[in-house]
Amino acid sequence: MAYPLFFNDGSKFPHTLGKIVCVGRNYAEHAKELNNPIPTEPILFIKPESSAVSLNEDLSIPSSDCHYETEIAILIGSNITSASESEAEASIVGIGLGLDLTRRALQSKLKDKSHPWEVAKCFDGACPLTDFVKIDQFSDLTKLEFSLTINNELKQVGNSGDMLNAIVPLISYMSKYFTLKSGDIILTGTPKGVGEIRSGDLLKLNLMDKVKVSTVVV
């Protein structure tokens, strides 16, 4: 069944979710905490539509090595290919939050063998998403603040101004490799503070008090 997309005012986006295009190591401090080099250009990968689940529901994880990565999620509203930055910005219709769930131990094992690591990033349920806030509610895409608490302990705080690749140039760059279609979602990278989630954890995500959602890990 196709994944439906909603705005936080209750309205439904006319297209269902397509693909989820992600960028790795888009915050320097996150790259450092995992002992990874800071990239000189965006590191891109794709999660399938089947990885998406709603953060309005309880969160199921597949294993004990599952780590959270909180990210700003961008909803694309028009088809773009090799887009200019102005075209990329005009394609944005909504902003929300997502979790890039990662089976970290499995990912490390696969990397050590120089194998692809999709099974550690793209499993069913690997991309929990909030609903989206319409783009006209935001005045500056370079000053988006967000946070994650787990069991009421602050774990991650991020600001889009700290991204190595800012949102609009990032979307333009992505569109040179992948045609972005209405209903696609962009995940923009995670700040430092990633870690393991466990059954029973209470997660609270906040994007500038425009998106506020809680979920329990089951």
Give the pLDDT mean for 181-207.
97
Q: What is the pLDDT of residue 137?
A: 98
**Contact at 8 Å (CB) between 197 and 126?**
no
4-62 pLDDT per residue, tens: 999 999 999 999 999 999 999 999 988 888 888 889 999 999 999 999 999 999 999 99
**Contact at 8 Å (CB) between 24 and 41?**
no
Q: 135 or 112: which carries more pLDDT confidence?
A: 135
Residue 42 to residue 176: CA distance in whole angstroms: 12
Q: What is the pLDDT of residue 155?
A: 98
Q: Which residues of 109-131 are buried (b: 16+ CB within 10 A; e: fewer)?
A: ebeeeeeebbebbbbebbbbbbb
What's the chain's Rg over C-alpha atoms?
16
121-164 pLDDT per residue, tens: 999 999 999 999 999 999 999 999 999 999 999 999 999 999 99
0.75 cut: is pTM over it? yes
122 within a domain of the structure (yes/no): yes
Residues spanned by the domain of 47: 20-216
Count of domains observed in the chain: 1
- Whether pLDDT at 103 is above 80: yes
Give the pLDDT mean for 79-100.
98
CATH of the domain at 53: 3.90.850.10
Give the pLDDT mean for 71-77.
98
**Contact at 8 Å (CB) between 199 and 216?**
no
Q: What is the pLDDT of residue 10?
A: 96
15 within a domain of the structure (yes/no): no
Give the pLDDT mean for 197-208.
98
* Partners of 139 in the β-ladder: none
In percent, how much of the chain has pLDDT > 70? Answer: 100
Give the containing element (helix H, strand E) for 88: helix 85-90
Q: What is the pLDDT of residue 35?
A: 82
Q: 168 or 111: which carries more pLDDT confidence?
A: 168
206 within a domain of the structure (yes/no): yes
Mean pLDDT over all residues of the chain? 96
6 within a domain of the structure (yes/no): no
- Whether pLDDT at 117 is above 90: no
In percent, how much of the chain has pLDDT > 90? Answer: 88
13 within a domain of the structure (yes/no): no
12 within a domain of the structure (yes/no): no
114 within a domain of the structure (yes/no): yes
9 within a domain of the structure (yes/no): no
Give the pLDDT mean for 205-211.
98
